[in-house]
């Protein structure tokens, strides 16, 4: 029996909630907090004592006081936060373990599991704090010679760090090409090995583009239309933390897509779906916004619609964006999305178009089986996802109302004193800014909590621990809206009668936590609002019991082909 190599042991540790998985999750969480919430992260970490204050110190005794404060009190706050989150996680997990074991006290193994989880969450919190601090510092652009420099040798990147990155990635990229060439006779194996080569090539490109000025074209005259002028505008358009993030995201989807192609090369549906996901991300999710930036137009992502793109209906964006983009937002969100949902369910978007699902189904493929199964996860999902949808509707309505209600408009002063009947409304010009104030607060906190924390940090950062689709399953307002349409549409998963052998592979493969086996055992075709139509349950089934369809169930009177016809023959 062949012993597993170092790379195989590492891959197993990452995909089975090992130490490497927790470390990777802390790195991803820190990256997203530093990317989306740079200012808020710095403020929080300063209060916790992880980061030093930005304000300069005037006198020596102030320096001593500051040093003592930031070495003791706020440092204790960070430790207290880690301990509190670890204890809370252990307490919750202990409750579920006791409920599952059905005993008054935990077994020795159960106690060890609870302690391990508490310690792991505490360590994850501490590592995330320091990782977010470093990323917040690295991703904050600094003005230099009239442009924002993320990565300049001697400025953001030191020479030794740049050389270390290049001398590490370069040989690794060259070494990864060898197994690809050796496996050229087997396309599926070659593609799986090629995914590492693509990822390393993308890492080298990122280092060269953002760590040096080697790819920056020379200065060209203003107004020039030469190829060099276009290359310079392209370089400047990429010079932001969002350009860096878009490039890294696209490389991740591409490398993960190559791996998925190699793994499911025998399945035409998975091959086509993966190619479409990769193409949509490379064009609508990356290239189109960059090209718009070249011509000094607002960046616009054609693959996102309201309510996922919450600002699509914000009046300030409507008045700013070009008319074709505004029409695309309205027609796509109000007409195209619902119609497609009726005929194809939510799979046409969640598994074919959306960049969030694209990353989950490509780079997140190794973490697919980690998604939580069971009734508790289902109950939480049903409450959380529709709560976020309601918040999206309320936030959009308030922002639209505030745009047409200035501070001097009496209509915004509608309020209730809290005494007597609710119908006793009053108009007070002094309270005329109430809607405007509430709209601004809802808009800000929706962006912080839902867009930054839930879709970014939680949605991607917990891949190694909780599986993919955390955002899509529990919080995405677009998934909630399409799920409601899907329940009344034509999409369903058809189950072939009396063929299920109860192996459970379909349930294990489901990234949305659906117990597909229960439906297969009951010979029941079904439509679940959470199903994204990825088709992995049908792929995993060894007997072909499951099939994805987009046709409504027929009335019994119309099922002529299903009836058993009995022909009576008269004896001669």
Tell me the whole-structure pTM to 2 decimals.
Answer: 0.83
Q: Which of 232-246, 378-392, 513-527 has the lowest mean pLDDT?
A: 232-246
Tokens encoding 441: 């607060």
> Does residue 492 lie within any of the structural domains?
no
Residues 159-214 have pLDDT tens digits of 777 778 888 888 888 888 888 888 888 888 888 888 989 999 988 888 877 777 66
Give 99's contacts (C-beta < 8 A, 6+ positions apart). Answer: none
* Predicted confidence band of residue 221 (pLDDT cuts 50, 70, 90): low
Looking at the fold, whether 112 and 162 belong to one and the same domain comes out as no
pLDDT reported for residue 138: 77
- Nearest one of 391, 399, 362 to 454, comparing CA atoms: 391
Q: Which of 21-35, 153-167, 379-393, 557-571 has the lowest mean pLDDT?
A: 557-571
Domain count, the chain: 2
Higher pLDDT, 459 or 50: 459
pLDDT reported for residue 401: 81
Q: Which of 67-76, 470-479, 519-528 has the lowest mean pLDDT?
A: 67-76
Other C-beta atoms within 10 Å of 47: how many?
Answer: 14
The mean pLDDT value for 67-74 works out to 42
* Predicted confidence band of residue 54 (pLDDT cuts 50, 70, 90): low
Q: What DSSP state is assigned to residue 555?
A: P
The mean pLDDT value for 106-112 works out to 78
* Predicted confidence band of residue 60 (pLDDT cuts 50, 70, 90): very low
Mean pLDDT of the chain: 79
Q: Which of 58-72, 244-258, 402-416, 451-465 has the lowest mean pLDDT?
A: 58-72
Looking at the fold, whether 135 and 161 belong to one and the same domain comes out as no
pLDDT at 224 over 50: yes
pLDDT at 427 over 80: no
pLDDT reported for residue 4: 55
d(CA 115, CA 185): 49
Looking at the fold, whether 111 and 213 belong to one and the same domain comes out as no
The mean pLDDT value for 69-92 works out to 74
pLDDT at 426 over 60: no
* Predicted confidence band of residue 563 (pLDDT cuts 50, 70, 90): very low
Please give the biggest Cα pair distance in the chain: 120
Higher pLDDT, 77 or 392: 392
pLDDT reported for residue 58: 43
Burial grade of 75 (CB within 10 A; 0-12, 13-18, 19 or more): middle
> Does residue 426 lie within any of the structural domains?
no
Looking at the fold, whether 206 and 122 belong to one and the same domain comes out as no
Residues 274-308 have pLDDT tens digits of 999 999 999 998 988 888 877 777 788 888 999 99
Residues 362-402 have pLDDT tens digits of 998 889 888 888 778 888 888 999 999 999 999 998 888 87
Whether the Cβ atoms of residue 232 and residue 217 lie closer than 8 Å to each other: yes
Boundary of a domain, candidates 280, 302, 324? 302
pLDDT reported for residue 222: 65
Q: Which of 67-71, 211-215, 467-471, 526-530 has the lowest mean pLDDT?
A: 67-71
The mean pLDDT value for 246-258 works out to 92
pLDDT reported for residue 213: 64
> Does residue 487 lie within any of the structural domains?
no
Per DSSP, the three-state class of 143 is strand
Boundary of a domain, candidates 140, 166, 199? 140
Boundary of a domain, candidates 240, 268, 302? 302
Looking at the fold, whether 84 and 117 belong to one and the same domain comes out as yes
**How distant, in Å, are the alpha carbons of 358, 498, 545 from that of 502?**
30, 11, 11
pLDDT reported for residue 240: 76
- Nearest one of 230, 19, 281, 279 to 127, comparing CA atoms: 19
pLDDT at 116 over 80: yes
Whether the Cβ atoms of residue 527 and residue 492 lie closer than 8 Å to each other: yes
> Does residue 83 lie within any of the structural domains?
yes
Higher pLDDT, 176 or 157: 176
Looking at the fold, whether 94 and 213 belong to one and the same domain comes out as no
Whether the Cβ atoms of residue 152 and residue 213 lie closer than 8 Å to each other: yes
> Does residue 95 lie within any of the structural domains?
yes
SS3 content of the chain, % helix, strand, coil (to 5): 65, 5, 30
Looking at the fold, whether 9 and 134 belong to one and the same domain comes out as yes
> Does residue 390 lie within any of the structural domains?
no
pLDDT reported for residue 431: 53
**Domain encompassing residue 297:** 154-302
Looking at the fold, whether 107 and 171 belong to one and the same domain comes out as no
> Does residue 497 lie within any of the structural domains?
no
> Does residue 502 lie within any of the structural domains?
no
Whether the Cβ atoms of residue 223 and residue 263 lie closer than 8 Å to each other: no
The mean pLDDT value for 229-257 works out to 83
- Nearest one of 200, 162, 363 to 274, comparing CA atoms: 363
pLDDT reported for residue 490: 87
Looking at the fold, whether 217 and 270 belong to one and the same domain comes out as yes
pLDDT reported for residue 250: 93
Looking at the fold, whether 30 and 126 belong to one and the same domain comes out as yes
Residues 325-343 have pLDDT tens digits of 889 999 999 999 999 989 8
Q: Scan for tokens 């239309």, then name that residue.
A: 225
Whether the Cβ atoms of residue 152 and residue 49 lie closer than 8 Å to each other: no
Looking at the fold, whether 102 and 163 belong to one and the same domain comes out as no
pLDDT reported for residue 253: 94
Instruction: Give residue 211's Cα distance to chain centre.
Output: 26
pLDDT at 150 over 70: no
Helix (H) or strand (E) holding 141, with range, is: none
Looking at the fold, whether 89 and 173 belong to one and the same domain comes out as no
What percent of the chain is predicted at pLDDT more than 90?
17
């Amino acid at each position: 029996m062949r012993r597993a190599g170092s790379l195989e042991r590492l891959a197993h540790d990452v995909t089975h909630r090992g130490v490497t998985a927790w470390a990777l999750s802390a790195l991803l969480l820190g990256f997203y907090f530093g990317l989306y919430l740079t200012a808020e992260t710095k403020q929080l970490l300063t209060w916790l004592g992880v980061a030093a204050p930005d304000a300069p110190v005037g006198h020596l005794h102030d320096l001593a006081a500051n040093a003592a404060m930031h070495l003791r009190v706020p440092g204790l706050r960070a430790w207290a936060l880690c301990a509190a989150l670890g204890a809370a996680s252990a307490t919750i997990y202990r409750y579920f373990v006791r409920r599952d074991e059905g005993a008054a006290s935990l077994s020795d193994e159960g106690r060890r599991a609870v302690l391990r989880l508490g310690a792991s969450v505490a360590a994850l919190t501490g590592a995330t704090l320091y990782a977010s601090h470093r990323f917040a510092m690295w991703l904050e652009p600094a003005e230099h010679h009239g442009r924002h420099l993320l990565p300049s040798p001697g400025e953001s990147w030191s020479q030794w760090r740049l050389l270390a990155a290049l001398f590490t990635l370069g040989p690794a990229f060259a070494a990864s090409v060898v197994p690809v060439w050796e496996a050229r006779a087997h396309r599926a194996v070659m593609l799986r090995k090629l995914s590492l080569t693509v990822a390393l090539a993308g890492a080298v490109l990122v280092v060269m583009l953002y760590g040096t000025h080697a790819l920056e074209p020379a200065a060209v005259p203003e107004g020039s239309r030469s190829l060099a002028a276009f290359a310079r505008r392209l370089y400047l358009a990429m010079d932001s933390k969002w350009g860096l993030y878009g490039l890294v995201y696209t490389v991740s989807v591409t490398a993960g897509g190559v791996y998925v192609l190699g793994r499911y090369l025998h399945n035409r549906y998975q091959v086509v779906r993966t190619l479409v996901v990769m193409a949509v991300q490379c064009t609508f999710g990356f290239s189109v916004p960059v090209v718009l930036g070249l011509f000094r137009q607002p960046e616009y992502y054609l693959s996102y619609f309201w309510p996922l793109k919450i600002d699509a209906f914000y009046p300030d964006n409507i008045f700013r964006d070009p008319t074709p983009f505004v029409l695309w937002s309205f027609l796509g969100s109000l007409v195209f999305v619902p119609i497609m949902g009726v005929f194809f369910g939510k799979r046409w978007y969640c598994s074919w178009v959306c960049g969030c699902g694209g990353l989950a189904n490509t780079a997140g493929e190794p973490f697919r089986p980690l998604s939580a199964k069971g009734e508790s996860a289902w109950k939480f999902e049903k409450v959380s996802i529709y709560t976020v949808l309601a918040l999206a509707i309320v936030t959009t309505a308030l922002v639209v109302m505030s745009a047409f209600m200035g501070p001097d408009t009496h209509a915004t002063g509608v309020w209730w004193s809290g005494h007597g009947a609710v119908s006793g409304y009053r108009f007070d010009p002094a309270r005329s800014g109430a809607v405007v104030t509430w709209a601004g607060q809802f808009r800000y906190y929706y962006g912080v909590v839902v867009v930054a924390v839930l879709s970014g940090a939680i949605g991607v950062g917990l891949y190694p621990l909780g599986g993919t689709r955390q955002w899509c399953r529990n919080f995405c307002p677009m998934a909630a809206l399409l799920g409601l349409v899907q329940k009344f549409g034509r999409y369903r998963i058809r189950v072939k009668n009396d063929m299920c052998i109860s192996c459970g592979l379909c349930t294990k493969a489901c990234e949305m936590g659906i117990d597909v086996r229960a439906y297969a055992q009951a010979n029941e075709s079904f439509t679940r609002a959470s199903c994204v139509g990825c088709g992995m349950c049908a792929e995993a089934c060894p007997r072909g019991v499951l099939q994805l369809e987009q046709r409504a169930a027929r009335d019994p009177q119309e099922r002529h082909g299903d009836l058993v016809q009995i022909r009576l023959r008269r004896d001669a």
